[in-house]
Structure 1
């Protein structure tokens, strides 16, 4: 059954390997990648509301998530580059409200400040470049800019893509991400990992179409830094004791494949990046759900104190096993397709980068096995008592992931 579902998913995504075209008018654009991101936004916002019935009783909480969903849909559907930039920045406001309003610890203010400073400051060069190109070419329409713009300068390319590298985030620009995830409520973590990070990947794709960014020394350097950074964060995952921090750091490794796929620019690279974005959006959201459900049972996120879940809650342990396997790209998951199709893309440019990707895939399996074994095996901790099994809404959220 799982193989059939994955095959059907691949069949649906296979068009991406042939073309990335779509229809467009003066306000909205419909592309294959944008449509997939809109669909991902809708289902993840629905999952976020379904997974948090306690917070969902608050009207302001539901209103914040709905507004965030609408902003994301507008961002993924914009055909005007300035409209895309405006919605790209507005998406930070509902996210910040979720962190500050429904976060768990006083440090949530620091986490929100980190997120705003990193992402907003990095997007200012992008705003300058968009205004300059729009004034120079007399249009902000994305297809029109794609026909007349041609950015060849390495520094101008860096100015354009810096905002999206911080949003993904790439290694070196990722310090805000673990803080935001640790302090965010479940809905904030699910939407942040599942779709907001994908805004960075979608922005890279959009800018490469809009400004015809060419390969240069700076882009090769960014790919190298991204892959080595993903490798380093995978090593850091093996040293984590906080469940949410481990899942947050694992996102940096997955997004490094997205960076190289979109920047190197081949059809296989685009296919790899899109597969990785969709697969990671669903798997990371489910892992944050599992971390939250485990926290509700044990009242801690520390893997030092959570032991023996397999004895106390076997159904919860089964879900951990399934989603750790999906996150480590076991066959026949979509994540495996994204990683394997990235190999020839990197091999074509540098055998060393392909080797780094191999190490990243190995470490991805290692830290997921470490996460599963740490939580589910070992002696049952005194603080973790056997009790009622998972509630119906918990099972439903995980099943429909």
Structure 2
């Protein structure tokens, strides 16, 4: 954290992109080396050491570096500082054992994101997108803040692990208040309207970090608060779970009628995050495993799809899918990466996404046949919209709008390659089993 804080300030005063890049790579490699060797810091009253937080910190460091590498905007001091400060807030949020400090950094991460959208967005509607994001997320989290303070005062501690040991079991309306703050962040269908607007108006770095890391704050918050409040499944929780799964199915079906490529990827994120929310709310070993795997896999695959959408936009100067067709003839290398990441996003074997989707099937089948059927339909329509996305952009006669494109940069291709390498974590699945040393 001190290293990331130091390079954030040095970047603001020196604007040295080389030092920022090498420092982020160093932090990512150290995180990955420690994670693979099960090295963990000793838990104390301030910081929590779990493999969940280690995986998400690794995801944060890597995507902060990749978002800077893949963007072609002028890397001004303020632009890079916004990205690095967002990475610092995320690192602090993922490593906090103090529940109140977790809430503070959870909300503080919205400030750099809002600055990225408003400052470097593409259209005047970016102000409306930023307003939607702040109203939805902050409005849903304020009742949770009141409940969290009451719980900490009642139990006499703010440590999340100690709260789980001394607090009574809760359900019903309290679960709606607590989970609502994080389900809006994921987001859950019916509270998702801010996400497509934010993605469409955000610059590339904003879309990558929003889809790759910020949505995972919602899943991480559900996991930690379920432990702190000792929630159990009640009738109200089953209603919420049914809404999450049905909304995920509707979101995947809506992908088939999108014409904006960024909006399509944003709606696909809503469908994938419904799997995360369902796995965490059911509080089953396989459900939590599925949620963790899906969070990491979706973080890299969705970020790569937004990169490809931006690269295709630089060729065609439009995000309208019918005007982007025929790239396979003119840009075969980029079409190859479209094929790879569409296959990853549809959970084709042997990707990490497939393991995440299959892990939740036994839990849903054991709970209800209708939930398992809904999941099966989500898998089918997920394959459908990814095939639609790939064929619409790459197949057919080339569009006349593709003639004025800029060549692919080596840094862009390197960024796409680095997005695909972490998905090899499927070879070490024990990293995703929840363990704590707090």
> Taking structure 2 as the reference length, what is the TM-score of the superposition?
0.86
Pairwise CA RMSD: 1.6
Counterpart pick for 2:68 among 37, 49, 60: 49
Which residue does the alignment assign to 2:152?
A: 134
Contact 1:313 1:386 survives alignment (8 Å): no
In the TM superposition, what whole-angstrom CA distance separates every residue of 1:41-87 from its partner, at most 9, and x where no partner exists?
Answer: 0000000011114332x010000000000000000000000000000
Contact 1:22 1:32 survives alignment (8 Å): no
Counterpart pick for 2:51 among 24, 32, 48: 32
Take 1:158 and 1:23, find their aligned partners in 2: how far apart are those partners?
A: 33
- The CA deviation at 1:150 is 2.2
In the TM superposition, what whole-angstrom CA distance separates every residue of 1:200-236 from its partner, at most 9, and x where no partner exists?
Answer: 0000000111111111112111111111101001110
The answer as to 2:273 corresponding to 1:255 is yes
Counterpart pick for 2:110 among 92, 95, 102: 92
- The CA deviation at 1:386 is 7.3
Counterpart pick for 2:100 among 82, 86, 90: 82
- The CA deviation at 1:157 is 1.1
Counterpart pick for 2:90 among 54, 66, 72: 72
Which residue does the alignment assign to 1:305?
A: 323
Contact 1:312 1:387 survives alignment (8 Å): no
Take 1:290 and 1:114, find their aligned partners in 2: how far apart are those partners?
A: 26
Counterpart pick for 1:238 among 256, 260, 282: 256
Change in CA separation of 1:387 and 1:170 when aligned onto 2, cut-off 3 Å: closer
Take 1:330 and 1:202, find their aligned partners in 2: how far apart are those partners?
A: 26
List gaps (5 residues or longer) in structure 2. 1-31, 420-438
Change in CA separation of 1:94 and 1:204 when aligned onto 2, cut-off 3 Å: same
Contact 1:312 1:386 survives alignment (8 Å): no
Contact 1:151 1:211 survives alignment (8 Å): yes
After superposing on structure 2, the runs of 4+ consecutive aligned residues of structure 1 that deviate more than 3 Å are: 386-389
Take 1:206 and 1:279, find their aligned partners in 2: how far apart are those partners?
A: 20
Which residue does the alignment assign to 1:4?
A: none
Which residue does the alignment assign to 1:187?
A: 205
Take 2:304 and 2:47, find their aligned partners in 1: how far apart are those partners?
A: 31
- The CA deviation at 1:388 is 5.7
Counterpart pick for 1:377 among 395, 401, 404: 395
Which residue does the alignment assign to 1:226?
A: 244
Take 1:111 and 1:346, find their aligned partners in 2: how far apart are those partners?
A: 35
Counterpart pick for 1:177 among 178, 188, 195: 195
- The CA deviation at 1:389 is 4.0
Deviates further, 151-160 or 254-263: 151-160
Counterpart pick for 1:212 among 212, 217, 230: 230
Contact 2:314 2:405 survives alignment (8 Å): no
- The CA deviation at 1:23 is 4.8
2:49 partner SS: strand
List gaps (5 residues or longer) in structure 1. 1-8, 16-20
Contact 1:290 1:320 survives alignment (8 Å): yes
Change in CA separation of 1:103 and 1:73 when aligned onto 2, cut-off 3 Å: same
Deviates further, 345-354 or 382-391: 382-391
1:24 partner SS: coil
2:130 partner SS: helix
Take 1:152 and 1:389, find their aligned partners in 2: how far apart are those partners?
A: 57
In the TM superposition, what whole-angstrom CA distance separates every residue of 1:136-159 from its partner, at most 9, and x where no partner exists?
Answer: 111111111010112323001111
Take 1:142 and 1:23, find their aligned partners in 2: how far apart are those partners?
A: 16
Which residue does the alignment assign to 1:59?
A: 77
Take 2:404 and 2:79, find their aligned partners in 1: how far apart are those partners?
A: 32
Contact 1:346 1:353 survives alignment (8 Å): yes
> Taking structure 1 as the reference length, what is the TM-score of the superposition?
0.94
Take 1:364 and 1:22, find their aligned partners in 2: how far apart are those partners?
A: 39
1:28 partner SS: coil
